[in-house]
Structure 1
């Protein structure tokens, strides 16, 4: 076989190899979507097994611990002073929140629930707020007025209430991510109400990319212009 024929044969093998690999099925990604905690969640991971029941179980366990709108939850019982019992989920979030409160000099404080309730969602009670009202509420607001004693929560004032909304949804994303990782899933993106836990690569074999909406005053939710797109490498949260 002369040199030309050898080159033609080699080229043919390369073309056949390229065609073979291009026809191979890309690893499948599964997508799970739903509603929880008055918001929406979107989960995508590398693998064909449907883990919807696993996600539901994690979110149900989380809700029973830290959802203040669930009347049967641990945090709801603590806020109503009908129980001082906690579970491992509550304690993990509480300890982290207290640590952040300490390093921030109290700027972050999950005992601000009475103040949040006074202002109302979207400041709907703004016209009723007075300096005197704020001062009266601050008498039982403060992260140093509540603590864990073993597995029990102890309040200095029974009127003290906890609101973990600023940290708990992120923890829920972490819990779902941990459940996927425990099942050997290494490429995933878990988003619950804007709180993201991620690992590995997206279906295109690239780092996960998350769009951040422009902070515009739009109560209709129609405006979806992006401020930027964040590329997430490795493993972490956003």
Structure 2
């Protein structure tokens, strides 16, 4: 009887361990922040985190959405709030200000009034007028925005914050931290094209991701390059899909605003892809490089041992050309 009991206990333990060891593939998809998200991860049975993921993204929206009138960001920009306790907002602003300093102001969240004026924010585009641009430019400058340790914002009247170039990367980081805290060590997270990967896929291979060609429309052969992404984040910024053409001048204006001029950035750079540990940093640095232009962006990424980069730019003959760091080349699949 004792032998039978021990045998049953051993069988139960074996089955329990086997069920815990079996890794299932979970794929979560949905919409958030005016775009889509996709998360693939490996975990044992009963770990479908769709509801929790949606809750995290809802909190980000409640904090940082320019389209939600009740978000912390909207209340700050309307002047309703001068002091904040929202930890997501505080973390995002502090990170953005750090990256502004690191990039010499090429990344600047205070371009909010200009983003709205050019029609790339939550407001309708106005008539193009250089005098208006000059007046709005006076309301910007990351050095004019400070946040005290108590969350109090110090800024001139009229300064508005735009986090579109950092919020999606921040969302990816938050989701990754949440999965890490629950022992999920193999995942690929993507929000609006910004990504973070850790570990391997179900087949035990590194995660493979593609970077889109800088075309206005998605082509059948859509990827410019395919890379292995392991324990890193990837963010891409480009001027090839978010733009408008002025009906009078015929000039094409892209969504990346140069904080120094107040006008959309114009350069040979078509797209910038950045790989680093933080997706929030990768997101903001990619935008900063688009503002810097090809030569300054090359010098910047080469000065950073923690950053890899892949640039697509217009050659002198009109054809696309590419430039990348050695570390990025080693990632190419």
The two structures have a TM-score, normalised by structure 1, of 0.82
Contact 1:146 1:153 in 2 (8 A): no
Alignment counterpart, residue 31 of structure 1, candidates 27, 30, 38: 27
Corresponding pairs, count: 209
- Tell me the residue number matched to 1:187: 186
Alignment counterpart, residue 38 of structure 2, candidates 42, 51, 68: 42
The answer to whether residue 233 in structure 2 is matched with residue 237 in structure 1 is yes
- Tell me the residue number matched to 2:146: 147
CA distance in 2, matches of 1:121, 1:66: 16
Query: What's the secondary structure of 2:110's corresponding residue?
Result: coil
Structure 1 segment 47-86 matched on structure 2, within 5 A: 47=43, 48=45, 49-86=47-84
CA distance in 2, matches of 1:69, 1:223: 32
Residue 121 (structure 1) shift = 3.0
Answer with 1 or 2: which has the greater Rg.
Answer: 1
CA distance in 1, matches of 2:120, 2:100: 23
Residue 80 (structure 1) shift = 0.5
Structure 1 segment 53-202 matched on structure 2, within 5 A: 53-86=51-84, 87-121=86-120, 125=125, 128-202=127-201
Alignment counterpart, residue 226 of structure 1, candidates 223, 247, 268: 223
Query: What's the secondary structure of 1:165's corresponding residue?
Result: coil
- Tell me the residue number matched to 1:22: none
Q: Which has the higher contact order (CA 8 A, sep 6+)?
A: 1
Contact 1:66 1:73 in 2 (8 A): yes
Contact 1:213 1:224 in 2 (8 A): no
**Which of 140-149 and 25-34 deviates more?**
25-34
Residue 125 (structure 1) shift = 4.2
Query: What's the secondary structure of 2:211's corresponding residue?
Result: strand
Residue 222 (structure 1) shift = 5.5
The two structures have a TM-score, normalised by structure 2, of 0.59
Unaligned ranges ≥5, structure 1? 1-24
CA distance in 1, matches of 2:39, 2:220: 23
Q: CA RMSD in A?
A: 1.9
Deviant stretches of 4+, over 4 Å: 221-224
Deviations 1:24-50 (A, max 9, x none): x97311000000011000001001310
Contact 2:110 2:141 in 1 (8 A): yes
